[in-house]
Structure 1
Amino acid sequence: MYKWIITLALAALPVVAQAQATRLQSLETTDSGREWLAVGRLDVDGTGFCTGALIAPDLVLTAAHCLYDKHTKQRIDPTRIEFLAGWRRGAASAYRPVRRAVEHPGYRFDGDVSADRVRNDVALLQLQQPIRNTTVIPFETGHQPRTGESVGVVSYAHDRAEAPSLQRICPIMARQQGVLVMSCDVDFGSSGAPVFSFEGNHPRIVSVVSAKAEVEGARVALGSSLEDTLALLRTELEADRNPASRTLPRVNRSTSGNTGISGAKFVKP
């Protein structure tokens, strides 16, 4: 369901001190899922689904490749996408169709699978109407985490389509050209799932899931960078409302602390 499988052949993946990754915890009950109601399932044109998260009453963050039909390679009409906030066991805390959607301007769906494609795999969806439900609280966003830092993921997947699951701890194994390599358990349908940092008083979204991969036989998740990206997407969304105002901000990407990814072997989905 809108997920890439990429095999990485990394010659020198950094060895970092890592916390033990925790197992998935189902959030199918009201009590367990209460904190995560702003994570929802994105039903895409009746053919599949992704995961998305509310970052404002009318804005959902997800992966850019969720906006494309994987067979025709064409962009899906965003009004045929619906956000089901807190979806579990046949009911959601809020239902909202999407009004418009923008993706990172550097993202290319029908191209070579590469670090650039994963790094830019971010989209922002504007809902038809804001969600004003007091139990569905949009998440704040934060800075990209460091290598070795523990993050968490809340996601749906093909084998857990009716309720999300939380993996509270999955360490960052590497940061490579803006791509996060994480020991997180994701699968088809997890595309666009929010990656959370738990530093501070409440969780903040620091990345979104773009793909699953393998490193030396071990399953990992690849996350897109949010550095500079959200400001860019908000500008794109405003330009989509008013094309005459299209002026994109300048983006400077920092690669400090990243190891090279030139030895990676990417296989097309």
Structure 2
Amino acid sequence: MRTLLKTLVLALMPCAAAAEDAHLQRLDTTHSGRDWEAVGRLDINGTGFCTGALIAPDLVLTAAHCLFNKSTKGRIDAEQIEFLAGWRNGRASAYRYVRRAVIHPDYVYDGAVSTERVRNDVALLELQRPIRNTTVVPFQTGKRPTRGEDVGVVSYAQSRSEAPSLQEVCSVMAQQQGILVMSCDVDFGSSGAPIFSFSGQEPRIVSVVSAKAEVQGDRVALGTALEESLVLLRAQLASGQGFNQAPPPSTNRIQVGQGRREMGAKFVKP
């Protein structure tokens, strides 16, 4: 396992975009997407996006690096981030701007990818108004999966930005130093996507996609630690922490492609 982790660290680099994987189920109809409405696209200033998932009516779980400008390494203003719940073919089940955000206290965005950065690459976004829609049901979170356990990922990505896709069967290859190494195939835009365990009656979020890598030529996904991180993040919110507590926006929504500012979430890793 030590050799595997070393290989992953050395292989943390952009991989060539691949054709849509045969194991990916596109959730582009009302029927196929019904159970996944709480997964949404995070539009950031109209120039890029990540994936996020609702874990409470007003809380979205995503990756911390989605909240940073790649050039300046500074945090992105909350009013530039909008959560599109269940975004599918030009429409969402709910639209909400972000009020404030908290990231793992040990996360450092410096442009370099490392095991420590991946392990702490998690953030909570508090929405300006809760989503109270009977079709958008927040997901529960669960314990870290064990090696060999089947997991799945629901995400938007570079080649599938207008509807999410589900990869229901991939597995945990290893876990070390708080990082999950999974056989899931992810791509640019999948950052922050929820990783689900199907071991119970309902799917539960057990990790968040942080990066993609290669192991002996095979594409894999790296997921963050979640259980302890969520405790820390919720405590930060409860104590009033969080950056950019913005008022409700007075302008129309900016869609992807209309923004002008450069930011780090545009086709980030992954």
Q: TM-score normalised to the size of structure 2?
A: 0.81
Distance in structure 2 (CA, Å) of the matches to 1:219 and 1:242: 35
Consecutive unaligned residues of structure 1, counting only runs of 5 or more, are 1-6, 12-20, 244-267
Q: Which deviates further from its counterpart, 222-231 or 154-163?
A: 222-231
Aligned to 1:23: 23
Letter of the 1:35 counterpart = D
On the 8 A contact 1:120/1:224 being kept in 2, the answer is yes
Shift in Å at residue 113 of structure 1? 2.0
Q: Secondary structure at the match of 1:65?
A: helix
Distance in structure 2 (CA, Å) of the matches to 1:195 and 1:22: 19
Aligned to 2:51: 51
Distance in structure 1 (CA, Å) of the matches to 2:242 and 2:214: 42
On the 8 A contact 2:139/2:204 being kept in 1, the answer is yes
Aligned to 2:258: none
Matched-pair identity in %? 70
Aligned to 2:260: none
Aligned to 2:191: 191
Shift in Å at residue 241 of structure 1? 4.8
Aligned to 2:143: 143
Letter of the 1:9 counterpart = T
Q: TM-score normalised to the size of structure 1?
A: 0.82
Shift in Å at residue 185 of structure 1? 1.1
**Does residue 227 of structure 2 align to residue 227 of structure 1?**
yes
Consecutive unaligned residues of structure 2, counting only runs of 5 or more, are 10-20, 244-268
Task: Pick closer, same or farther for the CA change 1:10–1:33 going to 2, 3 Å.
Answer: closer
On the 8 A contact 1:167/1:184 being kept in 2, the answer is yes
Letter of the 1:99 counterpart = R
Aligned to 2:7: 9
Q: Secondary structure at the match of 2:233?
A: helix
1:39-188 equivalences under 5 Å are 39-110=39-110, 112-188=112-188
In the alignment of these two chains, the number of paired residues is: 230
Letter of the 1:73 counterpart = K
Q: Secondary structure at the match of 2:70?
A: coil
Distance in structure 2 (CA, Å) of the matches to 1:162 and 1:23: 18
